[in-house]
Amino acid sequence: MKNIFLFCDAGMSTSLLVSKMRNVAEAHNVEVQIQALPFAKSFEIIENGQADCILLGPQVKFLLKDIEGKCKEKNIPLDVINSAHYGTMNGEKVLKQAIKMIRENQNK
C-alpha cells in the first residue's frame, strides 16, 4: 500500500480532489491511501517517513523550496499538482502523476 499526501493551505481545498482520486484508484484496484492535509503537517509526515509521494496544491507551490531538501533526504518524490488538473478536479490525472512519481522513485 502506497501513501500519497496532498498538501494545500488548510487541507480543505484538496479534499474533493482526494475523493475523486480514491474513486479512480478503487475502480482500477490500485492500492493506495490518499490524504489531504494542511501544509503545516508536511514536516511531520516527511520526518515520520509516512509518505511515498507528496503533491502540493498549486496555491502553495511557493512553499516547494521549503520542503524540497527534507523530501530528498527521506527519498520522497515531491511535485506540484498541475493547475489545470487541480482546477478541473481531475482525480485520474493527478493519481497517474502520483503513481508515475512513485514508480520513477523506485527505479532510481
- Per annotation, catalytic residue among 8, 56, 76, 99: 8
Residue 5 and residue 49 in contact, taking contact as beta carbons nearer than 8 Å: no
Query: Can you give the pLDDT at residue 107?
Result: 87
Query: Can you give the pLDDT at residue 11?
Result: 64
Query: Can you give the pLDDT at residue 72?
Result: 95
| Grid cell in block for residue 3 | 501513501
> What domains are there in the chain, each with its CATH number?
2-106 (3.40.50.2300)
pTM greater than 0.85: yes
Per-residue pLDDT of the chain (108 residues; tens, 9 = 90+): 999 999 998 767 789 999 999 999 999 999 999 999 999 999 999 999 899 999 999 999 999 999 999 999 999 999 999 999 999 999 999 999 999 999 999 887
Query: Can you give the pLDDT at residue 74?
Result: 95
Containing 103, the helix (H) or strand (E) segment is: helix 91-106
**71 given a catalytic annotation:** no
Query: What is the strand order of the sheet 32-38 is part of?
Result: 32-38, 2-8, 53-56, 78-80
